[in-house]
């Protein structure tokens, strides 16, 4: 199997486990500015695109990353991934019809990423949302990326590179590597950080205007939302960033502007030195509560 046939459209969605879905729904709708349109007491769907959902929140005892959904470029790209995982002995489980229908996805498989235990879901199409996303106070352009920490960071990177056809865009010392799901042009849809355990670092929403960042700064303060890093600028992706905590303490990032890569002729990955300015060229530093909450749920406990 040629790994180049494994091609992605985009980071599809993130599923989080939250302790109080109604409270989190209100937060993501009213404070973050994504659209909530469907759900029940235990599971809610939110979107910031024309797809059925970009974020799913499910009730659970401990805040966690439940899974990450990757939208493949085509059914053939999905088949290539499934075949490759079969060849290397990584089990892929088809999502059963009832759940796929609830998630409005077709042709879907899950696996446990072998180095972090994180659940990755792959599908070739998701239905459109019943109503197109209309921005309110913030022009959220898309779900941008997810960062996980891994106790086996080099192996995680290697798995994503060699078996999932991700590409490295940049690294900061041995601490964090930013990867794009090829050929999606965004600098990164996934980041892997060094950590003692597999943990969720943060989820990111991209915004269309620097004013969205400035307004967020004031909105978070008015609503007593903890701001944990920024505003600042990441020299890696060249984005202006702003991090805050959701009601469970999960770190959420807004970012404005991000380098994009062509499919062919992309620049080489860069290695940034491990100094604070490689994380924030404006000289800020994160609060102690930055990236502290979020277990990684395994497939068997999902
Ligand atoms: C501080 C974190 C790990 C970080 C650093 C750089 C970027 C970027 O280049 O966009 C991020 O998105 C981050 O979350
Ligand atoms: Fe980020």
Q: Is the pLDDT of residue 232 over 50?
A: yes
Which ligand has the shortest distance to the CA of 237? 1
Domains 3-126 and 141-296 share a fold: yes
**Closest approach atom of ligand 1 to CA 237:** 9
**What's the CATH superfamily of 141-296?**
2,3-Dihydroxybiphenyl 1,2-Dioxygenase, domain 1 (3.10.180.10)
Q: What is the mean pLDDT of residues 103-120?
A: 97
- pLDDT value, residue 301: 42
Which pLDDT tens digit goes with each residue over 184-219? 999 999 999 999 999 999 999 999 999 999 999 999
Share of the chain above pLDDT 70, in %: 99
- Please give the average per-residue pLDDT across 110-138, as a whole number: 95
User: Looking at domain 3-126, what is its CATH homologous superfamily?
Assistant: 2,3-Dihydroxybiphenyl 1,2-Dioxygenase, domain 1 (3.10.180.10)
Given a cut of 90, is residue 30 above it in pLDDT? yes
Q: Which residues line ligand 1 (CB under 6 A)?
A: 147, 176, 178, 191, 204, 234, 236-237, 239, 253, 255, 279
Is the pLDDT at 100 greater than 90? The verdict is yes
Q: Whose CA is nearest to atom 1 of ligand 1?
A: 279
Q: Please choose from 279, 280, 286 the residue to mutate so as to test ligand 1's pocket, defined by most ligand atoms within 8 A of CB.
A: 279
Domain residue ranges of the chain, discontinuous segments joined by +? 3-126, 141-296
Q: Of 141, 107, 100, 101, which is closest to residue 125 (Cα–Cα)? A: 107
pTM of the full predicted structure?
Answer: 0.98
Q: Cα(192)–Cα(126) distance, rounded to whole angstroms? A: 26
Residue 182: predicted pLDDT: 98
Q: Whose CA is nearest to atom 5 of ligand 1?
A: 279
Q: Which residue out of 176, 193, 270, 284 has the highest number of ligand 1 atoms within 8 Å of its CB and is therefore the one to mutate? A: 176
Q: What is the pLDDT of residues 72-98, one digit of tens each?
A: 999 999 999 999 999 999 999 999 999
pLDDT band at 49 (very low <50, low <70, confident <90, very high): very high
pLDDT at residue 302 is higher than 70: no
Given a cut of 80, whether residue 181 has pLDDT beyond it is yes
- Give the pLDDT band of residue 2 (cuts 50, 70, 90): confident
The ligand 1 atom nearest the CA atom of 236: 9
- Looking at this predicted complex, what is its ipTM? 0.99
34 Cβ contact list (under 8 Å, min separation 6): 28, 46, 47, 48, 54, 55, 133, 140, 205
DSSP the chain: --GGG--EEEEEEEEEEES-HHHHHHIIIIII-PEEEEE-SSEEEEESSSBS-SEEEEE-SS-EEEEEEEEESSHHHHHHHHHHHHHHT---EEPPHHHHHHHTEEEEEEEE-TTT--EEEEEEEEPBPSS----SSS-EEEEEEEEEEETTHHHHHHHHHHHS-EEEEEEETTTEEEEEETT--BS-SEEEEE-SS-EEEEEEEEES-HHHHHHHHHHHHHTTPPEEEEEEEETTTTEEEEEEE-TTS-EEEEEE---B--SSSPPPPEEE-SSGGGT-TT-----TTTT---EE--GGG-
Q: Is pLDDT above 70 for 29?
A: yes
Of the ligands numbered here, which is closest to the C-alpha atom of 240?
1
């Amino acid at each position: 199997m040629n790994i180049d046939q494994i091609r992605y459209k985009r980071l599809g969605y993130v599923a989080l486990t939250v302790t109080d879905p109604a409270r989190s729904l209100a937060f993501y709708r009213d404070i973050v500015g994504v659209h909530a349109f469907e759900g029940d007491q235990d599971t809610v769907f939110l979107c910031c695109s024309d797809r059925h959902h970009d974020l799913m929140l499910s009730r659970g005892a401990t805040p966690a990353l439940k899974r990450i959904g990757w939208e493949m470029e085509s059914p053939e790209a999905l088949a290539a991934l499934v075949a490759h995982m079969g060849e290397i002995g990584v089990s892929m489980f088809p999502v059963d019809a009832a759940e796929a229908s609830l998630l409005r996805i077709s042709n879907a498989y899950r696996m446990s990423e072998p180095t972090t235990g994180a659940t990755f879901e792959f599908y070739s199409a998701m239905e459109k949302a019943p109503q197109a996303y209309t921005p309110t106070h913030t022009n959220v352009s898309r779900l941008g990326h997810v960062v996980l920490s891994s106790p086996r960071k080099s192996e995680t990177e290697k798995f994503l590179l060699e078996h999932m056809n991700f590409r490295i865009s940049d690294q900061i010392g041995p601490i964090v590597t930013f990867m794009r799901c090829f050929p999606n042009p965004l600098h990164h849809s996934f980041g892997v950080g060094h950590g003692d355990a597999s943990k969720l670092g943060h989820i990111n929403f991209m915004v269309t205007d620097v004013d969205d960042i400035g307004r967020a700064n004031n909105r978070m303060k008015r609503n007593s939302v903890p701001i944990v890093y920024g505003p600042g600028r990441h020299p890696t992706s060249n984005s202006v960033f702003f991090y805050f905590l959701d009601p469970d303490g999960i770190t959420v990032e807004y970012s404005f502007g991000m380098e994009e890569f062509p499919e062919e002729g992309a620049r080489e990955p860069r290695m940034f030195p491990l100094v604070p300015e490689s994380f924030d060229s404006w000289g800020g530093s994160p609060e102690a509560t930055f990236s502290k909450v979020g277990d990684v749920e395994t497939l068997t406990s999902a």
